[in-house]
């Protein structure tokens, strides 16, 4: 159950990620992880997509791809930054982003040990499946560090955290 709600200030968090560069088109290139803090989103409209894991069936085929496909629609609605987070390491997240063709359109951020997701009350315990604690499946719209929408999935699948639901929520905010 989410411990944050609409109109709350987004809890601060620091993620690691590998910024996309043309050199990463070489499959043997790895890149160097750097840090990004949520405070860098001050004054920006940000979409945060959270998935339990890179390359996992629902995340890989149904959750992330529609955001890339509708990227221009998000930009037209004033979105400055789109990120996808998971508890995977930054090299896996970068590899997933390259496989999906994200380039610099959607940042792939690592929520190490799902610590930031836990601070939101949006972690997912997949210990029984051998995956440990993961980031839950959710989407958040943030405007100038204020939460405007939280779509946390109540069960398996993609509904309230999907690209169409988030686009509709952006429309409702105007």
Q: pLDDT tens-digit profile of 21-59? A: 999 998 899 999 999 999 999 999 999 999 998 888 666
| Bridge-based pairing state of the strands 123-126 and 132-135 | antiparallel
Query: pTM for this one?
Result: 0.93
CATH value at residue 115: 3.40.30.10
**Residue 7 falls inside a structural domain:** no
- Domain that includes residue 156, residue range: 14-172
Q: How many structural domains comprise the chain? A: 1
**Residue 136 falls inside a structural domain:** yes
**Residue 8 falls inside a structural domain:** no
Residue with tokens 């609605």: 77
Residue 30 among the catalytic residues: no
DSSP state of 26: S
Catalytic residue among 46, 51, 59, 120: 59
**Residue 112 falls inside a structural domain:** yes
**For 107-116, what is each residue's pLDDT tens digit?**
999 998 999 9
């Amino acid at each position: 159950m989410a411990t944050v709600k609409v109109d709350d200030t987004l809890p601060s968090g620091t993620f690691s990620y590998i910024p996309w560069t043309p050199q990463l088109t070489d499959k043997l290139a790895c890149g160097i992880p750097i840090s990004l803090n949520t405070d860098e989103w001050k004054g920006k409209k940000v979409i945060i997509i959270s998935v339990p894991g890179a390359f996992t069936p629902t995340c890989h085929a149904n959750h992330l791809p529609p955001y890339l496909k509708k990227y221009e629609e998000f930009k037209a609605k004033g979105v400055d930054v789109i990120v996808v987070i998971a508890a995977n390491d930054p090299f896996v997240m970068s590899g997933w982003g390259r496989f999906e063709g994200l380039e610099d359109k959607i940042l792939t951020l690592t929520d190490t040990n799902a610590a930031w997701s836990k601070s939101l009350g949006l972690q997912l315990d997949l210990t029984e499946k051998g995956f440990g604690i993961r980031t839950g499946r959710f989407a958040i719209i943030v405007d100038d560090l204020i939460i405007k929408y939280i779509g946390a999935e109540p069960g398996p699948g993609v509904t309230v955290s999907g690209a169409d639901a988030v686009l509709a929520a952006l429309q409702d905010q105007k």
